[in-house]
Amino acid sequence: MQNKGQVIIHLAGKYGAEALTPENYDITLMQSVLEYAVALLDLDKRKERPVTTYHIESGSVSNVFTTSKQKAVEFASVLALVVGTSSIDQLDAKTAVAFEGLQKFSIQNNLTVDVYTSESKEHVVHITPSSYYKRTENMWADAEVYYYGTLVDAGGKNKSNIHLDTKDGLIMIDADKEILANIVGNPLYRKFGVRATAKQNIITGDIDRSSLQLIEMTEFEPKFDMAYLERKIAASTLVWSGIDVDEFLHEIREGSYAGQ
């Protein structure tokens, strides 16, 4: 265990009329906790992360995730930010959404949730049904984003979406069924460029991937064409000459730009 560290998500409270213990720890509660842990520790990047194992300990219920010491230390620093400010606005979107999820989980199940690590037990994020771990709404603005990658899944009976395998990992984007129905042929394992809307943090620039909504997707062949790029640069230079970039961006963000 010398090179290992642990991240613990501890639950306390009641399940029905009885105190919560490993013996009555329902699988639906476990599934939710595992999903939040994957987001908090960024475990969906299988190729770039250390092996992480999981077990349950008594004392109400302690969900123990054993990972590398470096990962545990890194997560301890994240917890220190939250404990020190009681805010999750400074976290990246994926981590902040996971903390919001744990807050909802606490309220819905009337459970207390403590998140801490083996590396820094004094930094404990204490979540209760009456606590308030939620991002400040006015820090998030509508943005348009672009991704390129291989489509590995698409569809859904009730809520349709696509899964795009990109250089930044697997990205899930909500998609209207009409858009998916109009794709010619089987789109799976073909390369696409995707245009989508999302919420973006105006301070950190982080994209909230849970808010991604597909606008359009176009099949493409990833290749670099220097001549094409130079033609586009030459054409756009004349159009943008004399434009104050800072003022232009300010007008867009304030909603006064007329698109001329």
pTM (two decimals) = 0.65
Q: Is pLDDT larger for residue 34 or for residue 169? A: 34
Selection from 194, 146, 152 nearest residue 170 by Cα:
152
Question: For the segment 154-200, what is each residue's pLDDT rounded down to a tens digit?
Answer: 988 888 999 999 988 889 999 999 899 888 888 899 999 999 999 99
Place of tokens 């902040």: 96
Q: Where are the alpha helices (DSSP H) in the chain?
A: 27-40, 69-85, 93-109, 177-181, 226-240, 245-254
**What are the φ/ψ torsions at residue 140 (nearest 5 degrees)?**
-120, 125
Rounded distance, CA 60 to CA 21, Å? 5
| 139-219 maps to CATH 3.40.50.2300 | no
Question: For the segment 60-85, what is each residue's pLDDT rounded down to a tens digit?
Answer: 999 999 999 999 999 999 999 999 78
For strand 140-155 and strand 161-166, is the pairing parallel, antiparallel, or unpaired?
antiparallel
Question: For the segment 110-153, what is each residue's pLDDT rounded down to a tens digit?
Answer: 999 999 999 987 899 999 999 999 988 778 889 999 999 999 99
At residue 260, the pLDDT reads 45
Q: Which tokens in the block code for residue 192?
A: 């696409």
b/e string for 24-54 if b means 16 or more Cβ within 10 A? ebeeebeebbeebbebbbbbeeeeeebebee
Please compute the mean of the pLDDT values over residues 187-215 and round it to a whole number. 90
Q: Which fold has domain 4-135?
A: Alpha-Beta Plaits (3.30.70)
**Structural domain spans, the chain:** 4-135, 139-219, 229-260
